[in-house]
Structure 1
Amino acid sequence: MTQSAHQDAESLPVPQRLLATATRLFAERGYDRTSVQEIVESAGVTKGALYHYFGSKDDLLHEVYARVLRLQQERLDAYADADAPVEQRLREAAADVVVTTLENFDDTRIFFRSMHHLSPEKQKQVRAERRRYHERFRALVEEGQRAGVFSTATPAELVVDYHFGSVHHLGAWYRPDGRLSPQEVADHLADLLLRALRP
């Protein structure tokens, strides 16, 4: 961490500082190879402070992902509720999940690599949160299918799995310093989805 990045982290409120530090360490070392002691020392806080805001390291891992999912859910709800043609709303939602995943790349990569470390209860909670997101996204596809804007040849559930499979695979190939920007990747994937849905 550079001196200025370290100073920026120090100016954050304690919960955000702990999250920023944990995210960086989990990305660099892996969740299972990062101790609570290393997190609190690097964040410049006490273990008591960590346990005040997060009950465990497991809670930190959950929050790393949950904050991205909350952002994505809010944005999807805004697109879905907008007064625009369904094709436009779906395209914007499909591109947005790619952009927000890539703009929070460490968070999402850490999570998919480390989700199995969560307690069964937390895993269940995350699956329920993700299911809510997928169901809202699928409802947009179904709305377009009912209106005759999208083809009904492929079930909406499969269409959604196809798009989110691409999103989950980003961690395997995307490079922040690569040729394509997050928005360009998002536009390509959103266009592929809409092409697959055209009657």
Structure 2
Amino acid sequence: MAAATRLFADRGYDRTSVQEIVEAAGVTKGALYHYFGSKDDLLHEIYARLLRRQQERLDAVAAAGGSVERRVREAAGDVVVTTIENLDDAMIFFRSMHQLSPEKQRQVRAERRRYHESFRALIEEGQKSGVFHDGTPADLVVDYHFGSVHHLSSWYRPEGPLTPRQVADHLADLLMRALRP
């Protein structure tokens, strides 16, 4: 996975061969195909592992109790931090998702939809309770925040002036200010 991620990030999914992946990983093609049925499966798993981690963390935040404002802020920041911590995975996905098989694309969309619906449920909870204003539809709020997250790989640099946590705090603060009545 690490070798494929590095190669896909540097060269692109379509310009990386299975042979280059196995050589970089120091394994045989047989070993690769033991774990992954195809290069398509490998690309899908790169993104799926990040999304699984983010979904688990979001589920834990949502279930933790406490104020909805705290949970939304924590969830909003966490998706930024975990995306930055896995920036190559995110970049590969957004550059290459269209190259997945139609079935894998449907799977990814369903996984992403589940994540977005969980996040949206938190926004709606805050809107229904009056903690957040309800003038903006929750779906639009979610799309706004995740639009920012999806573009992190185009501008965030680890050697830059902001740490992942600082970026997360700034973006979460922007979201929270937009939600307040």
Q: TM-score surpassing 0.5? A: yes
Q: Counterparts of 1:106 and 1:42 in 2: how far apart (Å)?
A: 17
AA aligned to 2:158 is P
Query: Separation in 2 of the partners of 1:44 and 1:168?
Result: 32
Q: Which amino acid aligns with 1:127?
A: R
- Report the counterpart of residue 162 of structure 2 in structure 1: 180
**2:153 alignment partner in structure 1:** 171
Q: Which residue of 2 aligns with 1:72?
A: 54
Q: Give yes or no for contact 2:44–2:100 (8 Å, CA) kept in 1.
A: yes
Q: Secondary structure at the match of 2:108?
A: helix
Partner of 1:134: 116
TM-score by length of 1: 0.90
Query: Structure 1 residue 197 and structure 2 residue 160: aligned?
Result: no
Task: Choose the corresponding residue for 1:93, options 70, 75, 78.
Answer: 75
Contact 2:61 2:74 in 1 (8 A): yes
Runs of 4+ in 1 over 3 A off after TM superposition: none
Unaligned runs of 5+ in 2: none
CA deviation string 1:52-91 (max 9, x = no partner): 1000001110011000000000000000001210000000
Deviation at 1:27, TM superposition (A): 1.1
Listed one character per residue, the Cα deviations across residues 12-46 of structure 1 (whole Å, up to 9, x for unaligned) are xxxxxxx0110011111111111001111111111
Aligned partner of 1:54 in structure 2 is 36
**Amino acid corresponding to residue 93 of structure 1 in structure 2:** A
Deviation, structure 1 residue 176: 1.1
Q: Which residue does the alignment assign to 2:66?
A: 84
Per chain length, whose mean CA-contact separation is higher, i.e. which structure has more relative contact order (CA < 8 Å, sep 6+)? 2
RMSD: 0.6
Q: Distance in 1 between matches of 2:24 and 2:172?
A: 39
Q: Larger Cα Rg: Structure 1 or Structure 2?
A: 1
**Which residue is 1:8 aligned to?**
none
Identity of aligned residues (%): 80
Letter in 2 for 1:39: I
Q: 1:143 pairs with 125, 141, 153, which one?
A: 125
